[in-house]
Structure 1
């Protein structure tokens, strides 16, 4: 049985972030812009990466 790894989580310093699914510029997805709201995080609808605002309500470092 293969286990699917959890989506990646990135802690960032800006409330607006771009995601293209691949930091290396290879086989990602179309670039989308995400806005972090009052909950302190935003999830990419393409790759499920989670972006958490540093110091916000969802930052549990």
Structure 2
């Protein structure tokens, strides 16, 4: 696990909000309409959100 020493909380907050919007919106497409790269993008967004949440949890008293 990589420890975040000096996190830019503005950037982390922006990433988390962006991922939440993407997950909530779902880009308005149905499963059959997804492109092959969409799965990788979704996994990357999920991974970034998890890392941001983990960093926030480590830094929050």
> Which TM-score tier does this pair reach, normalised by the shorter chain?
under 0.3
Larger RCO (CA within 8 A; separation ≥ 6) = 2
* Structure number having the greater strand percentage: 1
Output the TM-score relative to the length of structure 1: 0.24
Bigger Rg, which one: 2
* Structure number having the greater helix percentage: 2
